[in-house]
Amino acid sequence: MSLNSVPSSDRVHISFFGMRNAGKSSVVNAVTGQKLSIVSETLGTTTDPVQKAMELLPLGPVVIIDTPGIDDEGELGTLRVKRSYQALNKTDVAVLIIDSSKGKSHEDNELIERFKAKNIPYIIVYNKSDISSAEISDKNEISVSAKTGEGINDLKELIARLAKPVENTKTIVSHMLKQNDIVVLVVPIDGSAPKGRLILPQQQTIRDLLDHHCTAVVTQPEELTHTLSSLNSPPALVITDSQAFARVSRDTPDNITLTSFSILFANYKGNLRLAVEGVRAIDSLQNGDKVLISEGCTHHRQCGDIGTVKLPALLKKYTGKSDLQFQWSSGTEFPEDISQYKLIIHCGGCMLNEREMKYRLKCAEDENVPITNYGTAIAYMNGILERSLSVFPEIEAIIKKEVHL
């Protein structure tokens, strides 16, 4: 896979923080060699996090995030600061920009404490060294001038040393297979499918299979029976889109292993065991209970959308509770207060990096709010969860043991 083809969710996320007019955007532009952010003497020029996927030597594929000033004021300023803090949840390396002529502020010190609490590697950058010098007291502190370029290459080297490289050994599914194994991928093409392309989990799974010399056979639910009968031998695995789980399970013989893209991504990006433990909360839902359905991406909702239409309908039918209260979140807008929810159902998280996905899971654990994901929930409500977990024998064994307790 070339560097340019690495998805944003799998890149190292480097976020730049600091007070207004400390020179964040100027340093970002100097580090990237691009005019990524608008630079102005006007306070609060950066009003929302600016994010761009790119290649940053010597590190490689990264996402650069320039955030609003952490000292912004007023009602709108408070919202901007909140957006800056939200960026921490997906930050792999934090770069704190300080005006060397002013030194650390109270807000800077508070932010450093947040870095430490979230275990985020960080660098303190004293900008404007061309007009004022700063005393460097730590190996992760550096003095630069975005104006003259002094220290910028050293800063890039320091970022590269702190950043954990993208984990290329972790796979979505190929580690469960042998070379030349055949895998059938069931991909519905309906009104909610994007026009002219496959969604990211499907693309990444196909690439994972091809990279490890397996054969990917792609079909739609309506053609699955014909596809299976056309093969000279049964496939090693059938992977389906979660919304077609029930039909695909009926049409896939019991001797063929079956799972879903969403379940695979719960293991790849998050914590599958937590999702399996959380799914049982569906059985205790009562009328009036609040359920959060959360997605990592933002997209245009269409008729038959799985998150806003199909999942709520399935939950009401399965539980017999017609008055469940559903709320939705998408993109980076994961609620700060989740204590009100009786259950969270999350997508596979293909558009989120691993740090942000695990942050959301940790929030749920800390609040004792059950959390599961799309594929796990749909398999459970269709009575095929145990079958769909057979590719994860350690998880399947836990389920069987708990059933017999």
Angle between helices 374-381 and 311-319 (to 10 degrees): 40
Six-digit token string for 139: 């190996």
How far apart (Å, rounded) are the C-alpha atoms in residues 386 and 206? Answer: 24
Summarised one tens digit per residue, pLDDT across range 67-117 is: 988 887 777 777 778 888 888 888 999 999 999 989 999 999 999 999 998
Summarised one tens digit per residue, pLDDT across range 287-326 is: 999 999 999 876 555 556 888 899 999 999 999 999 999 9
> Residue 321 belongs to what H/E stretch?
none
- Starting at the edge strand found earlier in the chain, the sheet holding 325-329 runs 325-329, 290-294, 343-346, 371-373
* Residue 244: closest CA among 305, 188, 197: 188
Enumerate long-range contacts of 81-89, CB under 8 Å, 24 or more apart.
83/48, 83/49, 84/17, 84/49, 85/114, 86/49, 86/332, 87/15, 87/17, 87/49, 87/332, 88/15, 88/114, 88/115, 88/118, 88/120, 89/118, 89/332, 89/334, 89/355, 89/356, 89/359, 89/360
Could you tell me if 66 and 46 are in contact, meaning their C-beta atoms sit under 8 angstroms apart? yes
Summarised one tens digit per residue, pLDDT across range 18-74 is: 998 888 989 999 998 877 655 545 554 455 678 888 888 777 888 899 998 888 777
How far apart (Å, rounded) are the C-alpha atoms in residues 18 and 21? Answer: 8
Residue 199, pLDDT score = 87
Could you tell me if 184 and 240 are in contact, meaning their C-beta atoms sit under 8 angstroms apart? no
Residue 2, pLDDT score = 46
Q: Which residues pair with 328 in a beta bridge?
A: 293
- Starting at the edge strand found earlier in the chain, the sheet holding 215-219 runs 215-219, 182-186, 237-240, 258-260
Residue ranges of domains in the chain, CATH in brackets: 3-162 (3.40.50.300), 169-405 (3.40.50.11420)
Residue 1 has pLDDT above 50, yes or no: no
* Residue 102: closest CA among 138, 128, 137: 128
Q: Which residues pair with 13 in a beta bridge?
A: 63
Q: What is the pTM of this model?
A: 0.73
Give the pLDDT mean for 379-387.
Answer: 94
